[in-house]
Structure 1
Amino acid sequence: DPHSTKFLSASRALQAAIAMHIVEGYLYRRGRHLKSWRRRFFIFEDGMLLYKKNDDTTSRVLDEDRVFDILYWSGRPHGLCLKLRGDRLIYLTARSEEDATRWHDTIESYLTEQRCIEDLRRALCRGRLPSIRESVNELARPE
């Protein structure tokens, strides 16, 4: 059926777009209590940020949390500030402006997409948009 093929390819395209919201690499993290800076290996994937001492696959995860917002931070060169669960803030610095931009844009893109999905879900729940079944039926109609 050509219409189910359209749906599958659209589904695969969406999965590919979501999969692109991955970034990893070394950043410097400011300590919570002591304001010292430590180099850590960070991974952002599917809204979650985790970090380890290094990029060794056997290295233990030191912390993992959901990211709710990201801003450029002027406190240090190439600085970033991330808002985590419970309004916790984490301050990071990248080695270069390009690195900071890569992290910022990847996370911001993910967060923007999630807000759009949530807005769409709310609209569907309020009945302001056609149901998924109506949309699929529309695709299935002969042209």
Structure 2
Amino acid sequence: MFNVKQGGSALIICMIFLLLLTILGVSSMQSATMQEKMVGNAVEENRAFQAAEGALRAGEANVQANSASISNENVATLPSVGVAPSGWQTIEIDGRNAYYHQQKIGYANSVFRITAIGYGIDGNARVVLQSTYRPY
């Protein structure tokens, strides 16, 4: 009854739509993967910050208890990432090592500089904090 000759245009249009949907799906997966990496880095930076904050508080407590034994000749040098610093005090926080260093910075006043380093779980995230502390 119908004598229409098909040219296969429906197949070509479906293939183009399928290609567009595939490109959209791959793009969405790449975006989701990138967001997951960014969240992981933010979590590691937060863990490193918490470790450094804990080491800073431990250093302040140590200054409060032993301020007479700390001199102003102690100069801190920051180590490379992943290398344990020499001459720094070590404290374990949540199963990871954090480090702090104390230095007296005033002759007349008892003022101290405390520098702390905290690392994330993988060791690549590092946070350095520093405070000025006067014992009470």
Provide the TM-score with structure 2 as the length reference.
0.31
Q: Highest CA radius of gyration, 1 or 2?
A: 2
Higher relative contact order (CA 8 A, sep 6+): 2
Provide the TM-score with structure 1 as the length reference.
0.30
Q: Which structure's residues are more often strand, by fraction?
A: 1
